[in-house]
Chains A and B, each alone.
Chain A
């Protein structure tokens, strides 16, 4: 019985480790920084991701050539952005998207160098979470029941040991 629970503990531990690794990967690659934290922050060359909408009537420059300026807004906060990077396919006015770049505190402008699709990792987490929790719960409940049934049969007087000895001879 102890081995049974140790095995399930091991499975739980591996699942937890995988969840932590995935969360760290998500945090490194995909999480976005709130737009409110940008104005007033110090300059940093570290790339961050911000999510918001391109403000109507502010987009100018050579978008198809990969150079543009516009205002980026989320809620009450609006920041100026200078985009220089690969020609973005999803950059247009009133478009909600993710920008990858860094904040320049000297000019108070966000220097964007790439765009990305919206962060919708919550759907992925929900799909995997629901599936694996349900399957593992079902498997655990069934395995535990079988263990109890075997124990009950073997430990009670209902058990017929001659059957096992026959099986060994075969």
Chain B
């Protein structure tokens, strides 16, 4: 039996994929072709339109993992566990790409690929937490304990989220301060439009990828379980003869 939620995903995920593609296309066009270069940075400012959305999305994605882990510990729903597992892999991808694009941007602007800056270090720690999460899931054999331990690790790792968010205010840092805060938006409209489209595109892309990966994990487990049941039934009928 295929879960009803998985069937809903199959039916509606295309809207998220289409929305992501549309937003990313508009974002790429406005970011790469229509927006002006920066007065000081020149053309490299265009890296912002891919780096910032990736970084925002990785924080959003980890928040989904964090919330899902609490939900799993409360309800013990295996599908939620699949969703958390899917979210972790995709979050790791977004976090890794945010670090790589940030490093590429740092070279022409800060003249270094990497510096031990609080924002950069706290972001790298997030990637290490996610790597630990994925390793833990591979190391524990029992599915129930695997889900439980992984959820606890994800919740504890959530401490890193506010550290990443406020690191630019708490410590002296090379990284620029927050462009969006309660004090308002400190970025011009020419730069804001592509940034918003790319951010929306990345969020929708994350949702789309999360749906597909959750489906993938669920269907893999379902197939394995059914094959196992079929094999045991065959074995039983052969034994009976």
Contact = CB atoms under 8 A, between A and B. Distances in A.
B and A form one assembly: yes
B223 A131 contact: no
B220 A22 contact: no
A33 to B, nearest CB: 17
A131 B105 CA distance: 13
Given A14-B25, A120-B44, A123-B44, A150 B219 contact: yes
Contacts of A30: 43
The SS class assigned to the A binding surface is: helix
Interface stretch (B134-142, B173-181, B210-218): B210-218
Contact of B47 (A22, A127, A138): A127
A140 to B, nearest CB: 10
Contacts of B100: 127, 130-131
B21 A149 contact: no
Interface residues of A, number: 37
Contact of A18 (B28, B107, B205): B28
Contacts of A135: 93, 97, 205, 209
Interface in B43-69: 43-44, 46-47, 50-51, 54
B101 A138 contact: no
Interface stretch (B29-37, B75-83, B153-161, B184-192): B29-37
A130 B105 CA distance: 13
A20 to B, nearest CB: 12
Interface of A: 11, 14, 18, 21-22, 25, 30, 116-121, 123-124, 126-128, 130-131, 134-135, 138-139, 142-143, 145-146, 149-150, 152-153, 157-158, 160, 163, 167
Given A116-B42, A127-B100, 4 more contacts: A18-B32, A123-B108, A127-B51, A157-B230
5 contacts: A18-B29, A121-B43, A124-B43, A127-B105, A135-B205
